[in-house]
């Protein structure tokens, strides 16, 4: 879900940059990358990987690794954009959509193997604790 939202942020910012603000397509691509990478880090760190490596590494280290991994995909993204727009002469938006397929797969693999580790699933104990906490809130005298 968050990968899809990140892709949506990236494409929307690119489209706004090229169509409304009339930026050169590579400038719009870079701005879209910066905003979508920040969004992706926040969502991946907080909800997708749920701090699976937070006990081992600081958030700052994860952030650096995340941006480094995304930097690799930025180089590929820019290369594909240039190849598709200037080489093959596809439209900028078509190039962006095609490039995103490659970038999404690469970003996921880099996140799993380099930045965060395998997405953590809640254990049954965590689920029970969460359920108990919700139950306590629902039945607390002050919650009515």
Alpha helices in the chain, H assignment, sequence order? 2-15, 25-43, 59-82, 92-110, 124-139
Give residue 49's Cα distance to chain centre: 12
Nearest to 36 by CA among 104, 95, 105: 104
CB neighbours of residue 87 within 10 Å: 10
Whole-number pLDDT of residue 68? 86
pLDDT digits (tens, 9 = 90+) for 78-87: 999 999 999 9
If pLDDT is split at 50, 70 and 90, which confidence band does 15 have? very high
Nearest to 26 by CA among 67, 79, 98: 79
Instruction: Answer whether residue 127 shows pLDDT above 80.
Output: no
Instruction: Answer whether residue 139 shows pLDDT above 70.
Output: no
Instruction: Answer whether residue 90 shows pLDDT above 80.
Output: yes
Mean pLDDT computed over every residue of the chain: 79
CA distances from 85 to 10, 33, 82, 92, 135 (A): 18, 18, 5, 6, 56
If pLDDT is split at 50, 70 and 90, which confidence band does 140 have? very low
Compute the average pLDDT of residues 96-100.
94
Compute the average pLDDT of residues 19-44.
92
If pLDDT is split at 50, 70 and 90, which confidence band does 110 have? confident
CA distances from 107 to 18, 23, 52, 54 (A): 24, 25, 17, 19
Give residue 80's Cα distance to chain centre: 19
If pLDDT is split at 50, 70 and 90, which confidence band does 22 have? very high
Of 17-31, 41-55, 72-86, 123-137, the range with the lowest mean pLDDT is 123-137
């Amino acid at each position: 879900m968050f990968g899809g939202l990140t892709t949506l942020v990236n494409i929307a910012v690119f489209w706004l940059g090229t169509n409304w603000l009339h930026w050169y397509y590579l400038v719009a691509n870079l701005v879209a990358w910066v905003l979508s990478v920040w969004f992706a880090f926040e969502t991946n760190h907080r909800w997708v990987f749920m701090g699976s490596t937070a006990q081992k590494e600081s958030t700052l280290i994860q952030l650096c690794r995340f941006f480094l991994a995304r930097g690799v995909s930025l180089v590929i993204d820019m290369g594909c954009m240039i190849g598709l727009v200037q080489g093959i002469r596809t439209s900028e938006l078509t190039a962006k959509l095609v490039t995103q397929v490659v970038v999404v797969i690469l970003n996921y693999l880099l996140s799993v193997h380099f930045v965060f580790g395998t997405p953590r699933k809640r254990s049954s104990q965590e689920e029970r604790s969460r359920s108990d906490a919700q139950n306590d809130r629902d039945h607390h005298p002050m919650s009515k």
